[in-house]
Structure 1
Amino acid sequence: MASGAVGTDRVAGRGETSPRPRPGPRRHPSHARPRSAAPRGMVPRPRHARGRSGGPASGAAGGHGPSSIPERLIETPPMAQLNLGCGFDKREGWINADGFKECDPDVLMDIETFPWPFEDDQFDRILMKHVLEHVGATFQDFRAVMRELYRVLKPGGVLEIHVPHFRHDTYWSDPTHVRAFTPLTFEMMSKARNDDWIARRANYTMLAYALGVDFEVVNAVQVYDSAWVEKERRGEIDRATLRRMANETWNVIRELHIQIRAVKPWSGPVA
């Protein structure tokens, strides 16, 4: 088990947290109008940076080296990022979406109303910070949410999920929490894992096939409760003992941070 930052442990994945670079169009795929002119539920068009000079870079007249290439031809488009269920944690450079109009999101939407107002393969990164445990009370709705996340992520795009740990009071204290998660939940969404389990006749639910998605777990971090972090800091407990207690005692791990990558195109049967 790899150790993470203070108060955390990485428990699964490769430790990669950024989407892999992918070739693609230089223009953001969204065709929605600017927020000032768009109705609620539509996507604001991102503002693209121009080259510093707005034209060809300086260089010798008639030159053919890199300095003669117009900057606009070699610009990298901004990363398309969706902060889904943003609440009041709105982030600059992200499309902030929520169903709570009082937080004034860029996009007002109900996560459990489908399809979402986004295009296929639109986002490099999606953040769901303490959101997923609140949606999809029925398996049908949960399946629809996961399929929409898979649809709007680019190939190789990363979904980052923060959820409370099921053995912490914060999970059970909120009556709007409808589903608990562990790192294994997301391993079950990997088609490669499902295929291996099928070959070995393993007793797991083949969620990749059941949901019609293919996600690869690239990082899974457990975040310890601050009281236990303080005990470790004071030398009252070591990390090995803390890990053991996390499997035996409530309120040791406060939450999980999971990053999963969309493996596309989907190569399984179409439901």
Structure 2
Amino acid sequence: MAELRLNLGCGAKHLPGYINVDRFGKPDVCFDLETFPYPWKDSSVAEIELHHVLEHLGQQTDVYLKIIQELYRICQPGAKVHITVPHHRSDRFFHDPTHVRPITPVGLSMFSKRLNREWQESGKAFTLLALYLDVDFELTHCSYTPSEVWVERYPNEVSDEKLLLRESEVYSNLIRDVDMVLTAIK
């Protein structure tokens, strides 16, 4: 039996081998991702694509957190959730009025029970969302797509991610997109 793979918020970009889901256009499944529960069984999905989608969802915090809970519920153990979003310090994020929430690696790390326990033990002031929501995702990949501004500013250090991250703490518009993978721990 083939593993179930979902391309959530697919828009016009249909991926072969995936069930393409959106509330608009002509997806395989027409569904509003802010409607609960999702129409897939517990622990049934092996892989999820959210390509420039998550920043459009969950303007109200309780809706966003329910989305995370639903993603976790439908993920099988070890399932991968691929997330691509505009960087939160990019004008691309701010220009689109349908972007309702910045999505960051630190924010997604708050859905890790392992990290929640470490933060709790060390007294760090992070919200223990994984423990509160009973979800457990590990951020297993994070990479950055430099912007044209970065390439112009540092043509000889284009691939220096450490410098890119350090400079992006001071300057906006150096990072175009952030690619992340969450792995479901069950």
Report the secondary structure of 1:96's partner residue: strand
Per-residue deviation, residues 205-264 of structure 1 (Å, max 9, x unmatched): 1010233211011001111113423554x4387736444322211100111111011111
Distance 2:138 2:112 in 1: 5
TM-score where L is the length of structure 2: 0.92
User: Which residue, 190, 197, 201 being the options, matches 2:123?
Assistant: 201
Higher strand share: 2
Q: Displacement, 1:134?
A: 0.7
Q: Give the counterpart letter for 1:258 in structure 2.
A: M
Task: Tell me which residue corresponds to 1:127.
Answer: 49
Residues 152-163 of structure 1 mapped to structure 2, 5 A cutoff = 152-163=74-85
Q: Displacement, 1:159?
A: 0.5
TM-score where L is the length of structure 1: 0.65
Q: Give the counterpart letter for 2:40 in structure 1.
A: F
Task: Tell me which residue corresponds to 1:137.
Answer: 59
Q: Aligned in 2, Cα 1:194/1:151: closer, same or farther, shift over 3 Å? A: same
Q: Aligned in 2, Cα 1:198/1:90: closer, same or farther, shift over 3 Å? A: same
Q: Displacement, 1:172?
A: 0.4
Distance 2:20 2:156 in 1: 41
**Would you say the 8 A contact 2:146–2:158 is kept in 1?**
no
Q: Say whether 1:91 aligns with 2:15.
A: yes
Task: Tell me which residue corresponds to 1:212.
Answer: 134
User: For this pair of structures, how many residues does the alignment match?
Assistant: 185
Report the secondary structure of 1:259's partner residue: strand
Q: Aligned in 2, Cα 1:243/1:113: closer, same or farther, shift over 3 Å? A: closer
Report the secondary structure of 2:17's partner residue: coil
Q: Aligned in 2, Cα 1:228/1:116: closer, same or farther, shift over 3 Å? A: same
Distance 2:150 2:172 in 1: 11
User: Which stretch of structure 1 is more off in the superposition, 210-219 or 167-176?
Assistant: 210-219
Residues 1-271 of structure 1 mapped to structure 2, 5 A cutoff = 27=1, 78-100=2-24, 102=25, 104-229=26-151, 232=154, 234-235=155-156, 239=160, 241-264=163-186
Moved over 6 A (4+): none
Gaps of 5+ in 1: 1-26, 28-77, 265-271
Distance 2:23 2:169 in 1: 36
Give 1 or 2 for the bigger CA radius of gyration.
1
Report the secondary structure of 1:222's partner residue: strand
Q: Aligned in 2, Cα 1:215/1:241: closer, same or farther, shift over 3 Å? A: closer
Higher helix share: 2
Q: Aligned in 2, Cα 1:212/1:166: closer, same or farther, shift over 3 Å? A: same
Q: Aligned in 2, Cα 1:196/1:238: closer, same or farther, shift over 3 Å? A: closer
Q: Give the counterpart letter for 1:97 in structure 2.
A: V
Q: Aligned in 2, Cα 1:238/1:112: closer, same or farther, shift over 3 Å? A: closer
Distance 2:143 2:157 in 1: 23
Q: Displacement, 1:148?
A: 0.7
Q: CA RMSD in A?
A: 1.7
Q: Displacement, 1:196?
A: 1.2
